[in-house]
């Protein structure tokens, strides 16, 4: 008897094609996951259970990327959004459901990507505030439908379209007022937005930073090279520091360029726990101050210091973790590539009268061996890398240094997992992982992991 031929697999979709899909789950990063006869489609704006009409933006052999343009039938978890905000994609999920998904994604990354087992995955720590929690917002300038100057965020999947903000619900009310002050002044002056297609125009980005504990605000305007009435801007904006950065870069970034202080202080001041920190304009500082204290508290707990240890804080930034640990350690040594951040760290140690912490500017890949030779082998390494995680070479340098304990502060479970697996293969054991929610209404996840020899 002849076998029945299997059903043909659906043809790969093409760019611009519209599909009707049912979203099954959420991938790390926040996109919904739908399937067409086994072919995976990642759907921006889709939530589990949603039946959507989605437009394909990119199609590859194994998967496609699409954007939901209409919710045909909402899933059982979907709720009405609180705000029109492209940076709060998960606000259509109840907060408890957001936490469940984040917890599951950390577990999935560690077990599926890292092939790790036998560790304790602790319950995720919920955020203190679900809205108005960010101490730093980076806005973009654009041109509205009527030709007017607008300031807001990039529309999902639209690199050249800016969604204007009147009340950003992730920012404080005072932070919103400062953005509107700058926007009103720029309109009054007749200044135009940077055109991302033609690479012409003047106004690019606006960074508003807040000291949550101190009440200080810093405003930094990023433009193309050109002229404006800088003194008048400084007189209009009611902030503790007003800065102007000019950059000729073709890419859109608030980093780099030449920065000029127009008024006030070049550094913002904020508190974490009992410590006070000075923060330079481009220095990294966790954008949820209240939950950063919780995150670093977990790192301190996992480090389990007894006062006799030498601690290395790799990717130390302005010294937030290092200075939090210093009172419990014999000495703390911080390493950071960004030189202004190292200068901040040294100044912050002095500001907080911490004498057993030292900081060095350098690339961990090339400076770690020399640091170990000069300062001695670390008992504990605390690592807080960028989203891309640790390179293979940095992992090798940590292995060579041979700390008894490694505390890994991660902002990306999909890079934590392979890094932890490399360290486990080299002789450490993954003991505990504690997810901490610093970014409600978004898919971002922070975790603290403990590895011991």
Mean pLDDT of 278-290: 92
pLDDT at 2: 42
Question: Is 67 part of a structural domain of the chain?
Answer: yes
Domain boundary residue, one of 271, 297, 317? 271
Together in a domain, 249 and 292: no
Instruction: Give the up-direction half-sphere exposure of residue 206: CA atoms within 13 A in the CB hemisphere.
Output: 29
Residue 380 has pLDDT above 90, yes or no: yes
Together in a domain, 232 and 144: yes
Question: Is 199 part of a structural domain of the chain?
Answer: yes
Together in a domain, 317 and 424: yes
Together in a domain, 314 and 437: yes
Mean pLDDT, all residues of the chain: 94
Mean pLDDT of 70-99: 95
Question: Is 4 part of a structural domain of the chain?
Answer: no
Catalytic residue among 151, 168, 186, 411: 411
Structurally, the chain folds into a number of domains equal to: 3
Together in a domain, 222 and 103: no
Domain boundary residue, one of 271, 298, 318? 271
Tell me the percentage of the chain whose pLDDT exceeds 90: 88
pLDDT at 10: 56
Question: Is 282 part of a structural domain of the chain?
Answer: no
Together in a domain, 400 and 380: yes
Question: Is 277 part of a structural domain of the chain?
Answer: no
pLDDT digits (tens, 9 = 90+) for 77-89: 999 999 989 999 9
* Type and span of the H or E element at 351: helix 339-351
Helices of type H across 376-412 = 392-401
Question: Is 7 part of a structural domain of the chain?
Answer: no
Of the pLDDT bands very low, low, confident and very high (cuts 50, 70, 90), residue 161 is confident
Residue 316 annotated among the catalytic residues of the structure: no
pLDDT digits (tens, 9 = 90+) for 3-59: 444 334 457 898 999 999 999 999 998 999 999 988 999 999 999 999 999 999 999
pLDDT at 5: 42
Domain CATH for 334: 3.40.50.150
Together in a domain, 413 and 361: yes
Per the DSSP assignment, residues forming a β-bridge with 114 are none
Of the candidates 216, 318, 315, the one whose C-alpha atom is nearest the C-alpha of residue 270 is: 216
Residue 158 has pLDDT above 80, yes or no: no
Question: Is 32 part of a structural domain of the chain?
Answer: yes
Together in a domain, 125 and 180: no
Together in a domain, 307 and 342: yes
Of the candidates 379, 394, 386, 330, the one whose C-alpha atom is nearest the C-alpha of residue 358 is: 330
Domain boundary residue, one of 271, 297, 314? 271
Of the pLDDT bands very low, low, confident and very high (cuts 50, 70, 90), residue 420 is very high
Q: Which domain holds residue 58?
A: 18-78
Domain CATH for 67: 2.40.50.140
* Type and span of the H or E element at 161: strand 158-164
Strand blocks (E) in 74-135: 120-121
Q: Tell me which of 126 and 1 has the higher pLDDT.
A: 126
Together in a domain, 296 and 443: yes
* CB count in 10 Å sphere of residue 302: 24
pLDDT at 3: 41
Together in a domain, 120 and 155: no
pLDDT digits (tens, 9 = 90+) for 241-262: 999 999 998 877 778 789 999 9
pLDDT digits (tens, 9 = 90+) for 288-310: 999 999 999 999 999 999 999 99
Are the C-beta atoms of residues 413 and 28 closer than 8 Å to each other? yes
Together in a domain, 295 and 429: yes
Domain CATH for 159: 2.40.50.1070
Question: Is 90 part of a structural domain of the chain?
Answer: no
Tell me the percentage of the chain whose pLDDT exceeds 70: 98
């Amino acid at each position: 008897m002849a076998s029945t031929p299997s059903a043909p697999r659906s043809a790969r979709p093409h760019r611009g094609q519209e599909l009707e899909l049912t979203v099954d789950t959420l991938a790390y990063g926040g996109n919904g996951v739908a399937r067409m006869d086994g072919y995976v489609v990642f759907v921006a704006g889709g939530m589990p259970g949603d039946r959507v009409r989605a437009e394909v933006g990119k199609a590859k052999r194994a998967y496609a990327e699409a954007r939901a343009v209409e919710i045909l039938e909402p899933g059982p978890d979907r709720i009405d959004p609180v705000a029109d905000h492209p940076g709060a994609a998960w606000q259509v999920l109840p907060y408890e459901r957001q936490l469940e998904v984040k917890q599951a994604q950390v577990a999935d990354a560690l077990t599926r990507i890292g092939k790790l087992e036998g560790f304790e995955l602790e319950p995720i720590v919920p955020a203190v505030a679900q809205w108005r929690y960010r101490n730093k917002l980076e806005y973009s300038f654009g041109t509205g439908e009527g030709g007017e100057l607008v300031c807001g965020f990039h529309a999902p999947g639209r690199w050249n379209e800016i969604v204007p903000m009147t009340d950003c619900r992730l920012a404080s009310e005072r932070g919103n007022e400062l953005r509107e002050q700058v926007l009103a002044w720029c309109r009054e002056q007749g200044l135009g937005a940077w055109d991302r297609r033609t690479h012409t125009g003047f106004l690019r980005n606006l960074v508003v930073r807040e000291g949550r504990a101190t009440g200080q605000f810093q405003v930094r305007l990023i433009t193309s090279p050109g002229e404006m009435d800088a003194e008048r801007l400084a007189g209009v904006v009611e902030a503790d520091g007003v800065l102007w950065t000019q950059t000729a870069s073709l890419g859109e970034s608030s980093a780099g360029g030449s920065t000029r202080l127009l008024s006030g202080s070049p550094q913002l001041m904020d508190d974490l726990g009992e410590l006070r920190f000075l923060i330079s304009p481009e220095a990294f500082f966790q954008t949820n101050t209240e939950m950063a204290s919780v995150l670093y508290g977990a790192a301190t707990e996992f480090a389990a210091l007894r006062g006799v240890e030498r601690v290395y804080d790799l990717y130390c930034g302005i010294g937030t973790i290092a200075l939090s640990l210093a009172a419990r350690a014999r000495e703390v040594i911080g390493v950071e590539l960004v030189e202004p951040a190292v200068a901040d760290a040294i100044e912050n140690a002095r500001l907080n009268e911490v004498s057993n912490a030292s900081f060095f500017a350098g690339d961990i890949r090339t400076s770690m061996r020399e640091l170990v030779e000069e300062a001695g082998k670390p008992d504990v390494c605390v690592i807080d890398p960028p989203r891309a995680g640790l390179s293979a070479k940095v992992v090798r340098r940590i292995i060579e240094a041979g700390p008894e304990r490694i505390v890994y502060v991660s902002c990306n479970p999909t890079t934590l997992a392979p890094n932890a697996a490399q360290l486990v293969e080299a002789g450490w054991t993954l003991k505990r992982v504690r997810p901490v929610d610093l970014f409600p209404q978004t898919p971002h996840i922070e975790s603290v992991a403990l590895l011991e020899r």
